[in-house]
Every structure is written in structure tokens, then in C-alpha cells.
Amino acid sequence: MPALNVIVMILGIAVAGLGLIGLVAPALLLDFGKSLLTEGGLYAVAAVRVAFGLLLLFVARASRMPRTLRIIGFVIIFAGLSTPLFGVERSAFMLDWLSTQGPAFVRVIAMLAVAFGALVVYAISPRRRSTV
């Protein structure tokens, strides 16, 4: 398996892992989000998003779902580039709003993260060869 695929798989597992943390302990996930509410934190999140999106574009061709990964890659790149434009204050407002919705709502969002991470891992994993 090429190195970029391994990196994308690790990132997919990390996203699913963060989602699992949100399912088990929603407050812990919100605290993690709050720890990123600095100008430097937002730039770091933006850089990770852009890098992840670019990686998805690079590995999409050889994946099980090339068109899907390309679309997701472009969406993530756009999200990454727009992240700093939101600013710390607006991001804090959005995170506060999310926390007021209650743990069940945070768990639903976390389930989406688990599903997304699993989708990425599935799409990148090697196809099984038939033995017939």
C-alpha cells in the first residue's frame, strides 16, 4: 500500500476515533474543540483540513470511490481555506451553540464523524481479489 494511502487511512481512523470520543464523552470532545479556539489553533485546523483534502485528491484515483473522495477532498479544502475567515469569536459562538444543544446532539455529530472516518478507511483499503 503506498505511503499516501497509509497516511489517509491513519487520518480516517483518527477522525473516527475523535467521533468515538464524542459518542462516549461529548463534553470531552467539546473541551478539545474549545482548546483550539485561538488564532494559532484555527490556523492549525485549517492547515490539517487543507492537507487532508489534498491527500484525498491525490489518493482518489486508486481508491474504491474516486469520484466521492475527490468531491470530499474539494469540500474539505474549501472548509480549510475558509476556517481562518470565521475567526476565533465566531468559532467560539458556534461551539457554544453546539454545546447548548445537549449531549445527544453532540453524539449525533460524533456519529457522523465515525461514519466519515469509516468511509475514508473503506475507500482507501485495498480491494479484495477474488480467489475463483
pLDDT along the chain (132 residues), means of 10: 90 96 95 94 96 96 94 97 93 94 95 97 83 64
Domain ranges of the chain: 3-124
DSSP notation for 41-64: HHHHHHHHHHHHHHHHHHHHTTSS
Position 84 scores a pLDDT of: 92
**DSSP 8-state secondary structure symbol assigned to residue 97:** H
Residue 14 vs residues 2, 82, 101: alpha-carbon distances, Å: 19, 22, 25
Which run of H or E residues covers position 71?
Answer: helix 66-100
Q: Which grid coordinates belong to 102?
A: 445537549
Position 126 scores a pLDDT of: 84
